[in-house]
């Protein structure tokens, strides 16, 4: 403080030099606390005042100016208000004047440039410097590649980068042609710096380009100046050297930012599925808006600020969510008052039937009731036909292609093998009475299993075994192809035998799972697209792998390489195939089964894949379907893929993700199920995928997109997979799938396997969903010890515990937790028995069945 006071009050040169020397020594040692202390005592103002005094002397006293400029640069880096203090002291013109006067003296000029850079860190001060010609001055100093005066060139580039943080300076630089000059300078330094001695200069030039391209005009000029090609080629030269990572990172950031913005390659971002809500004649489409409007967007506000703003919003939302939490212990202990008359609670009496249960009748019913297992065992093999409804025929997404358990391959000729029963004779199919009698019996049994189902919508699934020969999936997973070759009753009988053979293959060693139960329940499911295929993993079941898999470690530079591959599409468009191989909206417009490409399918329960585009031979862009009647909420995916080559890395890019970040960036992997592995005795969902990363892409959300998505960009989830077998059928999913049919068949099995004497189990329908599917409500508790009054009173006085799961359909992990909870509650574990005796559990295992069913 004493030194600052002497500095301000003294005019003696020796005193000033001594004070500068003392301050330099003090501030050169230790941490930044000393500098902040000097700033708090008015050090910045004193140094600026001394600078103004020294600059007015003729000729300038460089013996005083040089240490003063060094000290100003050091203090100014830590003073957040330094730019405002420079304006207040009217020192901007002084600094520019000193810079101009020292253009021929490199040492003095370097010190002036240091201070100029610190002053430009304030946007307002930087704008004033730009208006007064600072950028023109700096471009006189920045030279092409040279080993002379490197320190001065580095200081000039740093000052220019600070000036270009101002958008007005960036516009001025573009209008005066400085962007092209920066590209030429960068090329020259990159080409000549073979030994990589001047990485900081090359990166400084890239920072200048980065700030200029923050504005729309800068990005357009950058594209027109072949900037994408120049940076892409330079980055390719740098990939082999790890020391050049700062250059690669900055260049990649510029390439991503300047990639031309596009809309998603779909006709509309709205879901492929629509559902008429009660009271509406039809689902009203949302106005998409013009392409120019949403592509233009907020062009001036891109970059890291978007993420920071959204993170702040998330923090604010979390605080709002916690605002209503009660912290007063006394209030928490008090019994709350009913918020409605007790008479109104009578409407829930039907949901608490256990309170008026006649346990003698219950025991009698359990002895006389025929088990569902017996009913399933008595079912004949499923026929390979169904009677379609009018709506299923008209729906554009309900084309029946009579596949096997799931459609596992191309459909040659796009033949339609779904015909009503009465048309078999019309078309000349040979049929015998035994088959017809069997079908009538099966129809009656199906109707019994689906009492509320419209018989015209009942359908079954053609199941078939999978031989081990090389073309097993083509020969056996397409019974309609075989029938084309030799139509007649043999084809029907063969199909029936396939069902039996496939079920006989099942070992029955998967706990709480039965393919027969699952198939029976799946027939009753009502979906918007009218699913008529079963996914093999859900039908067959799966076991946990016999090993633990660690979190995937992310390799260095993976995301960078993926982004560069995306940029290559723009620079080398001839390498892009661009073939649509799967399209839920327009099946006729896709090219499934093309030579050398994969075959995709997702029209099964909980499936979600809207479109697949082959980009390169082993690379595919995938799009997820939005929620029904919506244009957002893309997260869950579940689809089938086949016709693969073994040991070849296939890259998949899911390009319409919405979240800002994902656990896929921190070791999470998707899951994969191999049909061939399952038939060889290893039915498992396994963690799969390498080179996984999640990053923002160049697809902008349309103006009509709700939920705060307008003007934002979509994100890409990219991963690579090597399939283990040739021509296998594999399923890929966001997480372990758990379908509605899985839950219903699981409840059937639990009900059959429970101890009827110890476990009270009641399954009711809480409500019918909008789609017409029952939402089950379970009651689980312990049977009363006896029928005497005390035991029944203890039963009725047990407190209730309510458990619910799966309100968000894409969070299948909730269903797996609920599955384990149910299995535990009905088990013979002593803790489970104690819980049943103490509580009555009311459980809704799936709150959103329609969302789960429709993917």
Give dist(CA 681, CA 640) in Å, integer: 20
In a shared domain, residues 753 and 703: no
Report for 64-73, 438-447, 718-727: range of highest mean pLDDT: 718-727
- Which pLDDT belongs to residue 497? 56
Lowest mean pLDDT among 462-471, 582-591, 711-720: 462-471
In a domain, 583, yes or no: yes
* pLDDT score at 740: 96
Does any domain span residue 251? Answer: no
Percent of the residues in the chain that have a pLDDT greater than 90, as a whole number: 44
pLDDT digits (tens, 9 = 90+) for 86-125: 888 888 888 888 888 888 888 889 988 998 999 988 898 9
> Where residue 177 sits, what CATH number does that domain have?
1.25.10.10
Residue 500, pLDDT score? 62
Are 753 and 672 found together in one domain?
Answer: no
Residue 652: the pLDDT is 97
**504 or 202: whose pLDDT is higher?**
202
d(CA 419, CA 437) in angstroms, rounded, equals 18
CB 732 within 8 A of CB 721: yes
Same domain, 716 and 747: no
Last residue of a domain, one of 224, 253, 280: 224
Residue 264 resides in a domain: no
Are 726 and 746 in a shared domain?
Answer: no
365 in Cβ contact with 496 (< 8 Å): no
Residues 745 and 806 in one domain: yes
Contact between 714 and 264 under an 8 Å Cβ cutoff? The reply is yes
What is the rounded average pLDDT for all residues in the chain?
78
Q: How far apart are CA 303 and CA 696, in angstroms?
A: 10
* CATH for 744: 3.40.630.10
pLDDT band, very low/low/confident/very high, at 319 (cuts 50, 70, 90):
very low
457 and 414 in one domain? yes
Taking the C-alpha atoms of residue 116 and residue 134, their distance in angstroms, rounded to an integer, is: 9
Give me the pLDDT at residue 79, please: 83
* CA pair distance 605, 595, nearest whole angstrom: 28
In a domain, residue 747? The reply is yes
**DSSP-derived 3-state class of residue 519:** helix
- Mean pLDDT is lowest, of 569-578, 786-795, 796-805, for 786-795
Q: Domain range spanning residue 389?
A: 379-505
Of the listed ranges 518-532, 561-575, 829-843, the least confidently predicted one is: 518-532
pLDDT of residue 11: 58
Do 769 and 818 sit in the same domain of this protein?
Answer: yes
In sequence order, what are the beta bridge partners of 764?
A: 777
Question: Is 482's pLDDT higher than 70?
Answer: no
User: Under a CB-based contact definition with an 8 Å cutoff, are residues 781 and 839 in contact?
Assistant: yes
Indicate whether 795 belongs to any domain: yes
Domain annotation covers residue 308: no
Least confident interval from 92-96, 290-294, 702-706, 796-800: 290-294
Question: Which CATH number belongs to the domain containing residue 668 in this structure?
Answer: 2.60.40.3120
User: What is the per-residue pLDDT across 338-389, written as a single tens digit (0 to 9) for each?
Assistant: 788 888 878 788 888 888 777 665 554 554 454 444 544 443 333 333 323 3
Query: What is the spatial distance between Cα 658 and Cα 484, in angstroms, rounded to a whole number?
Result: 45
- Give 696's pLDDT tier (boundaries 50, 70, 90): very high
Is residue 383 classed exposed, middle or buried when 0-12, 13-18 and 19+ CB atoms within 10 A define those classes? Answer: buried
* Strands of the 579-583 sheet, one edge to the other: 579-583, 611-616, 619-623, 649-657, 713-722, 690-700
Number of domains in the chain: 4
- pLDDT for the residue numbered 492: 26
pLDDT confidence of residue 503: 73
- Is the predicted pLDDT of residue 72 greater than 50, yes or no? yes
Summarised one tens digit per residue, pLDDT across range 734-779 is 999 999 999 999 999 999 999 999 999 999 999 999 999 999 999 9
pLDDT per residue over 436-473, tens digit each?
A: 444 444 444 444 444 443 333 333 333 333 333 333 33
Last residue of a domain, one of 488, 505, 522: 505
One DSSP character per residue, 44-60 reads HHHHHHHHHHHHHSSS-
Q: Which tokens go with 513?
A: 């799972």
Give the pairing type, strands 759-768 and 729-733: unpaired
Q: Residue 409: which pLDDT band, with cuts at 50, 70 and 90?
A: very low
d(CA 506, CA 498): 13
Per-residue DSSP letters for 285-341?
PPP---HHHHHHSSTTS-SHHHHHHHHHHHHHHHHHHGGG----HHHHHSPPPPSS-
Find the range with the poorest average confidence among 334-348, 680-694, 817-831: 334-348
- Assess whether 156 and 19 both reside in one domain: yes
Tokens of 214: 């923050």
Contact in structure between 734 and 638 (CB atoms under 8 Å): yes
Note the pLDDT tens digit of each residue in 231-284: 999 999 999 888 999 999 999 999 999 999 999 998 888 888 888 888 765 545
Same domain membership, residue 786 and residue 686: no
Q: Worst-scoring range by mean pLDDT, 54-58, 301-305, 540-544, 616-620? A: 301-305
Looking at the structure, tell me whether residues 725 and 752 fall in a common domain: no
Q: What integer pLDDT is reported at residue 780 of this predicted model?
A: 96
Model confidence pLDDT, tens digit, residues 826-849:
999 999 999 999 999 999 999 999
103 and 125 inside one domain = yes
- Whether residues 725 and 748 fall in one domain: no
Position 214 scores a pLDDT of: 95
Q: Which of 665, 698, 733 is the last residue of a domain?
A: 733
Q: Does residue 801 sit in helix, strand or coil? A: strand
Instruction: Tell whether 646 is covered by a domain.
Output: yes
- Classify residue 289: in a domain, yes or no: no
């Amino acid at each position: 403080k004493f030194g600052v006071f002497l500095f301000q009050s003294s005019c003696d040169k020796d005193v000033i030099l001594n004070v500068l020397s003392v301050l330099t020594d003090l501030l050169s040692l230790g941490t930044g606390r000393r500098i902040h202390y000097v700033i708090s005592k008015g050090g910045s103002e004193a140094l600026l005042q001394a600078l103004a005094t020294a600059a007015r002397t003729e000729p300038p006293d460089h013996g005083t100016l040089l240490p003063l400029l060094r000290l100003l640069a050091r203090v100014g880096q830590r003073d957040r208000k330094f730019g405002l203090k420079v304006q207040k002291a009217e020192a901007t013109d002084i600094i520019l004047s000193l810079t101009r006067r020292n253009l021929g003296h490199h040492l003095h000029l370097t010190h002036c440039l240091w201070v100029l850079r610190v002053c430009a860190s304030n946007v307002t001060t930087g704008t004033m410097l730009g208006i007064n010609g600072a950028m023109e001055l700096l471009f006189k100093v920045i030279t092409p590649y040279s080993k002379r005066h490197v320190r001065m060139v580095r200081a000039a580039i740093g000052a220019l980068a600070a000036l270009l943080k101002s958008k007005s300076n960036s516009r001025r630089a573009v209008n005066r042609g400085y962007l092209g000059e920066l590209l030429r300078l960068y090329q020259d330094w990159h080409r000549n710096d073979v030994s990589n001695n001047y990485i900081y200069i090359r990166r400084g030039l890239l920072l200048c380009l980065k700030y200029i391209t923050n504005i729309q005009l800068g990005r357009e000029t950058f594209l027109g100046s072949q900037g994408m090609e120049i940076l892409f080629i330079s980055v390719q030269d740098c990939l082999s050297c790890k020391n050049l990572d700062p250059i690669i990172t900055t260049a990649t950031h510029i390439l991503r930012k300047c990639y031309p913005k596009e809309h998603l390659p779909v006709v509309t971002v709205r879901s492929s599925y629509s559902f008429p809500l009660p009271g509406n004649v039809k689902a009203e489409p949302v106005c998409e808006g013009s392409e120019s409007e949403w592509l233009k967007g907020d062009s001036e506000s891109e970059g890291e600020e978007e993420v920071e703003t959204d993170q702040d919003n998330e923090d604010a939302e979390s605080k709002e969510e916690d605002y209503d939490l009660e912290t007063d212990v006394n209030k928490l202990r008090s019994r709350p008052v009913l918020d409605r008359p007790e008479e109104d609670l009578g409407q829930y009496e039907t949901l608490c039937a256990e309170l008026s249960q006649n346990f003698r009748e219950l025991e009698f019913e359990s002895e006389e009731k025929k088990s569902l297992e017996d009913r399933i065992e008595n079912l004949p093999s499923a026929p390979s036909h169904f009677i379609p409804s009018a709506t299923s025929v008209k729906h554009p997404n309900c084309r029946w292609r009579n596949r096997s358990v799931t459609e596992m391959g191309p459909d040659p000729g796009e033949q339609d093998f779904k015909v009503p029963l009465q048309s078999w004779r019309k078309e000349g199919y040979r049929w015998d009475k035994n088959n017809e009698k069997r079908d009538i019996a099966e129809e009656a049994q199906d109707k019994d299993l689906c009492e509320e189902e419209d018989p015209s919508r009942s359908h079954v699934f053609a199941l078939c075994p999978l031989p081990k020969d090389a073309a097993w999936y083509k020969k056996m997973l397409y019974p309609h192809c075989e029938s084309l070759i030799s139509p007649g009753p043999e084809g029907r009988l063969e199909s029936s035998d396939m069902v039996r053979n496939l079920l006989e293959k099942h070992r029955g060693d998967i706990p709480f799972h039965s393919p027969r139960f699952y198939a029976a329940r799946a027939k009753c499911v009502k979906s918007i697209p009218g699913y008529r295929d079963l996914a093999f993993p859900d039908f067959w079941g799966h076991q946990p792998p016999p090993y633990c898999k660690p979190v995937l470690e992310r390799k260095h530079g993976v995301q960078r390489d993926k982004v560069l591959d995306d940029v290559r599409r723009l620079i080398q468009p001839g390498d892009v195939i661009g073939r649509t191989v799967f399209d839920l909206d327009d099946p006729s417009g896709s090219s499934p089964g093309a030579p050398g490409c994969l075959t995709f399918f997702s029209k099964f329960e909980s499936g979600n894949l809207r479109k697949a585009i082959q980009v390169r031979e082993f690379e595919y862009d995938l799009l997820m379907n939005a929620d029904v009647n919506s244009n957002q909420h893309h997260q869950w995916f579940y689809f089938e893929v086949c016709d693969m080559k073994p040991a070849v890395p296939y890259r998949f890019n899911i390009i319409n993700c919405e979240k800002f970040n994902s656990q896929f960036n921190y070791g999470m992997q998707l899951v994969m199920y191999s049909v061939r592995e399952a038939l060889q005795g290893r039915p498992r969902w396994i963690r799969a995928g390498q080179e996984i990363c999640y990053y923002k892409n160049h697809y902008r959300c349309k103006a009509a997109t709700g939920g705060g998505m307008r003007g934002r960009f979509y994100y890409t989830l990219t991963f690579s997979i090597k399939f283990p077998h040739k021509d296998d059928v594999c399923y890929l999913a966001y997480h372990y799938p758990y379908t509605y049919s899985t839950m219903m068949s699981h409840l059937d099995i639990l009900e059959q396997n429970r101890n009827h004497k110890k476990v009270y189990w009641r399954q009711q329908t809480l409500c019918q969903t909008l789609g017409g599917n029952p939402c089950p409500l379970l009651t689980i508790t312990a049977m009363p010890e006896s029928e005497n009054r005390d035991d029944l009173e203890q039963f009725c006085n047990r407190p209730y515990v309510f458990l619910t799961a799966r309100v968000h359909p894409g969070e299948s992990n909730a269903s797996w937790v609920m599955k384990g909870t149910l299995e535990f509650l009905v088990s013979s574990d002593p803790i489970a028995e104690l819980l049943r005796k103490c509580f009555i559990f009311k459980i809704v295992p799936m709150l959103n069945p329609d969302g789960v069913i429709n993917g």
